[in-house]
Amino acid sequence: MTSLNELQIFGAVVDQGGFAAAAKALGVTRSAVCRRIDGLEKRLGVRLLDRTTRRISLTDAGEALYHRGARILAEVQEAELAISEYGEEPRGVLRITSPIMIGLHKLVPLLPDFLRRYRHIKVQLDLSDDVIDPALAENDIGIRWGEQRPSSLIITRIAESRQIVCAAPSYLERFGTPRTPQELLGHNCLMMSRLGLGSNEWSFLIDGEVLPLKVSGNFVVNGGHGNYEALIAGLGIGRVTDLRVIEDIRAGRLQPILREFEPDDPMVIYATFKSGRLVPPKIRLFIDYFREQMKGPLPKITL
């Protein structure tokens, strides 16, 4: 069986364009390289290289071995790099995807402390309110909220959030404050698209039963950040997470409404990652850290 060392030597001869150059790159003698290539050709029973006094060239068999060997060596290098993450100190690039609102107001403020604790981890954060491919693309961790679609990903619970219906005082002064969910049908409601949260249907607790109400308005945005800015500007009534809205309610920039109709069941925030026999320490450490920082009862909003 061809060894990895033989593949490495053969690849070096091809890449460097000759035996002497390959020997110099590998730190061995030219005669040692020649012996290994001769032995490889004899054992395989084929000529891999055509040699002249001026240059070498690949035979058809040599070209096939070179390309397949290069893939094998690349996979071995990738495997060694992945396994190195399991050393005493976690390391590597941690790729996280998150909704913009959670990313800006929860993840980013936590990163300085996390990266101080784990000096050899680097974080690459992708903020997007688009629904992410279940395979997570190239990301290690996906932070999501709401109902999760069936997939091959591992899903772990991080925290809870509530959706608060509110509006800017300027909007309520101009158009009045709705007293029942049904009165929202006469108001301009801010909606989001492509978020996967049923953003045009808001749920309310009416006569002991959670019922959806389809709202409408003259403004639709594809992400939570734009929705929130429109809410602050007084464009309409919105439904936003308590993870973001509490400080603006306390400061008087927003006013919660219809709290007595708020459903009891909170919306769950999840971390998702790819299944496998081994979970890289960088993934496990971040999920544990994020869950610990988000732990605690939901903040109370007083009217």
Neighbours of 85 (CB within 10 A): 19
Structure tokens at 43: 């054992």
Q: Under 8 Å CB-to-CB from 242, ≥6 apart: which residues?
A: 161, 162, 163, 164, 298, 299, 301
| Residue 134 structure tokens | 């279940």
Which amino acid is located at 190 in the chain? Answer: L
Q: Retrieve residue 233's tokens.
A: 């500007």
Across 88-114, b (16+ Cβ under 10 Å) vs e yields eebbbebbbbbbbbbbbbbbeeeeeeb
pLDDT of residue 291: 92
Rounded to 10 deg, the angle between the 242-250 and 224-232 helix axes is 20
Q: How far apart are the first and last CA of the chain?
A: 76
User: Tokens for 117?
Assistant: 């604790």
pLDDT at 195 > cutoff 50: no
Q: Which domains does the chain have, with CATH numbers?
A: 4-84 (1.10.10.10), 92-161+267-293 (3.40.190.10), 163-261 (3.40.190.10)
pLDDT given at position 150:
57
Q: Say what the pLDDT of residue 196 is.
A: 45
Between residues 117 and 137, which one has the greater pLDDT?
Answer: 117
Count of all residues that appear for the chain in the document: 303
Judge whether residue 43 has pLDDT over 50.
yes
Residue 149 structure tokens: 């679609």
- Largest Cα–Cα separation, the chain: 93
- Pair of tokens at residue 222: 């594809």
Report the SS3 class of residue 278.
coil
pLDDT at 134: 47
What tokens appear for 82 in the block?
A: 């992945």
DSSP 33-47: HHHHHHHHHHHHTS-
pLDDT higher at 99 or 146: 99
Note the pLDDT tens digit of each residue in 261-298.
Answer: 988 777 888 898 887 656 788 899 999 999 999 885 54
- Cβ(100)–Cβ(280) under 8 Å? no
Answer whether residue 201 shows pLDDT above 90.
no
For 219-249, write each residue's pLDDT tens digit: 888 777 888 999 999 999 999 888 888 889 9
Q: Which pLDDT score is estimated for 121?
A: 92
Residue 302: is its pLDDT beyond 70?
no
- Whether 42 has a pLDDT exceeding 60, the answer reads yes
Highest-pLDDT range among 69-73, 167-171, 208-212? 167-171
Q: Which residues pair with 166 in a beta bridge?
A: 238, 256
Return the closest-CA partner of residue 50 out of 60, 63, 39, 59: 59
DSSP H helices, 45-137, are 60-84, 100-102, 108-117
Return the closest-CA partner of residue 12 out of 24, 3, 2, 1.
Answer: 24
